[in-house]
Chain A
Amino acid sequence: MALPAVDHTAIILTLKLATATTLLLMLIATPLAWWLTHTHARLRAAVTALVSLPLVLPPTVLGFYLLVLLGPRGLVGGWMQAAGLETLPFTFGGLVVGSVIFSLPFAVQPLANAFAAIGARPLEVAATLRASPWDRFVSVALPLARPGFVTAAVLAFAHTVGEFGVVLMLGGNIPAETRVLSVAIYDHVEALEYAEAHVLSAGLVAFSFVVLLMLGRSGGNWQRMPT
């Protein structure tokens, strides 16, 4: 069946959000994961816990605090308003910020695992072959951690597509601005439009299944017991 135009808008908005979130996450999670795997700082444990918080917190809690923090009376929001900037709640930008924080552990963990799996030796070898620290990172660590990057990007993307609580708290339900797929489904169900809700939901189920299938094929996810 044909979907209403508002649903098309929601799908495109969701893909835009997931793409922006994934790109930003790669930029943020890569140095963070590298630092976590190489630092001896005492702060490490605290940072690890902080990054992992979104794994256990209800998304509504995260969304609520972000709303408070980014709102006009919040610490960050107040500062933004004083600087003459638009505050982030109920905007696409706000959704991106919320999604990045919400999906951070899904990007950091596979990357940190991949960096740790490389071990010290290849980087030491590169150092003895005249490669500077940055050169070693680019020419040895990045290519060897490639499976980790694939896993991190796929998980971050898929997780963002499926997010609901943070979006609802922080973004509300503004068509073409913050009304993403999960919110659209919620709306359809509220309005008892089960047929539309089915199409979108089944689409998400199929999408998620295919993503996880590909991830499993590329060797990520759970390890099989060695035989």
Chain B
Amino acid sequence: MSRIEARFRGTLGAFALDAEFDMPGRGVTALFGPSGSGKTSLLRLVAGLARTPGRLVVNGEVWQDEKRFVPTHRRALGYVFQEASLFPHLSVRGNLEYGWKRVPPGLRTLNRDDVIGWLGLESLIDRSPHRLSGGQRQRVAIGRALLSCPRLLLMDEPMAALDANARAEILPYLERLHRELALPVLYVSHALEEVARLADHLLLIEGGRIGYQGPLAEGMTRLDLPLAHRDIAATVLDAVVVGQDAELQLTRVASGSVELELAGLHGSPGKPLRVRVAARDVSLTLTMPQQTSILNLLPAQVVELAEDAPGQVLVKLALGETPLLARITRKSARQLNLEPGTPVIAQVKSVAVA
């Protein structure tokens, strides 16, 4: 029963929404779309902060259907808003404990000190919210939401209001939550890098409708979806570190049958590492090049081609089961005579940690 099923159909103000989705009851599901596409509206509907006709079942518990509408305060959810929205009349401790105090002790699924520790809030605990930096405030807001012991965590672009430094400060905490908690997270974002780094599952929304729902890796590499055509289009691979070379400062990772080498020492052997290959960093040849500076040469097969930006073609490749995107010029595609089924060698110029 560990699933979240939702269907909302109606209008919120002047905005028409007709969204149906089904997300797994664990891991991070990114709700991705341009601004004005209805991401926040959908999140508010799930929280019960807004209302249209619909149906919502969270882990077998009905939150809304034709007959029932469970009010927000009776839904076991956590909500992190874009602005931290800390209570100015309470200290950091008062904010963190606001929800915690309202959870019956028997239903407290988390340890308070653990959460405070994970988010590095020990030293801030007696401060007043107005004496915190933007990143610190958002950490407190995340801790406050977690301490209400939710069964679903909703995050509405929690990093959008932060500058690059604060964002870099928060991301590791979010990744840590993702690793250490089984809690399902619905994460609204319009930043592809963030999604590529955090999400397992993807919901694409446009004009109040869900355009795609499924695994992240597939959603990012499907040529009929907008993500693959973004400038920063990339393939995300959930890999495992299989080796490190301290002298060459090189890390080798494997994802299924695909092995990749990337510069620098990342992660630790045996541990999972998510890596990202930008479509523009993949070039194609028909024969295995000899003597090249490119480390990763991967035999692949062309699956599909699609027109991209003017003069460019997006090629979807299969490396065994694993998809990979390559962005090449139309001229190259013609010269190599690429078509579905053509065997090629993918030259991966650079691999980044996601």
Kindly state the separation between the CA atoms of A133 and B48 in the bound complex, as whole angstroms: 14
Contact (Cβ within 8 A) A132 B73: yes
Chain A residue nearest in CB terms to B141: A125
Kindly state the separation between the CA atoms of A210 and B21 in the bound complex, as whole angstroms: 63
| A125 and B73 in contact, given A130-B99, A130-B103, A131-B102 (Cβ under 8 angstroms) | no
B residues 68-117 in Cβ contact with A at 8 Å: 71-74, 77-79, 81, 83, 85, 87-89, 98-99, 102-103
Residues of A within 8 A of B71 (CB): 127
Residues of B within 8 A of A146 (CB): 89
The listed residue (B49, B74, B88, B144) touching A129 by CB distance below 8 A is B144
Cβ distance A120 to chain B, nearest Cβ, rounded Å? 9
Contact (Cβ within 8 A) B77 A128: yes
The digit string for A111-134, where 1 denotes a CB below 8 A from any CB of B, is 000000000011011111111110
| A130 and B102 in contact, given A121-B81, A125-B85, A125-B87 (Cβ under 8 angstroms) | yes
Cβ distance B280 to chain A, nearest Cβ, rounded Å? 41
Residues of B within 8 A of A130 (CB): 73-74, 99, 102-103, 148
Interface residue total, chain A, C-beta cutoff 8 A: 19
Q: Does B47 contact A (CB under 8 A)?
A: yes
Chain A interface helix/strand/loop/mixed: helix
Q: Does B344 contact A (CB under 8 A)?
A: no
Q: Does B145 contact A (CB under 8 A)?
A: yes
Kindly state the separation between the CA atoms of A125 and B103 in the bound complex, as whole angstroms: 15
How many inter-chain contacts with C-beta < 8 Å in the A-B complex? 58
Chain A residue nearest in CB terms to B76: A130
A-B interface, 10 closest residue pairs, ranked by CB to CB distance from nearest: A129-B99, A128-B79, A130-B102, A127-B72, A143-B89, A127-B73, A129-B148, A125-B85, A130-B73, A129-B98
Partner-B contacts on A (CB < 8 A): 121-122, 124-133, 135-136, 139-140, 143-144, 146
Interchain Cβ contacts under 8 Å between A and B, 26 examples: A121-B85, A124-B49, A124-B79, A125-B79, A125-B81, A126-B73, A126-B87, A126-B98, A127-B48, A127-B49, A128-B49, A128-B73, A129-B98, A129-B102, A129-B144, A129-B145, A130-B74, A130-B102, A131-B73, A131-B98, A132-B73, A135-B73, A135-B102, A140-B87, A144-B87, A146-B89
Sample of 20 further A-B pairs with CB below 8 A, known A125-B81, A126-B98 = A121-B81, A121-B83, A122-B85, A124-B49, A124-B72, A126-B73, A126-B87, A127-B72, A127-B73, A128-B99, A129-B99, A130-B102, A130-B103, A131-B98, A131-B102, A132-B73, A135-B102, A136-B73, A140-B87, A146-B89
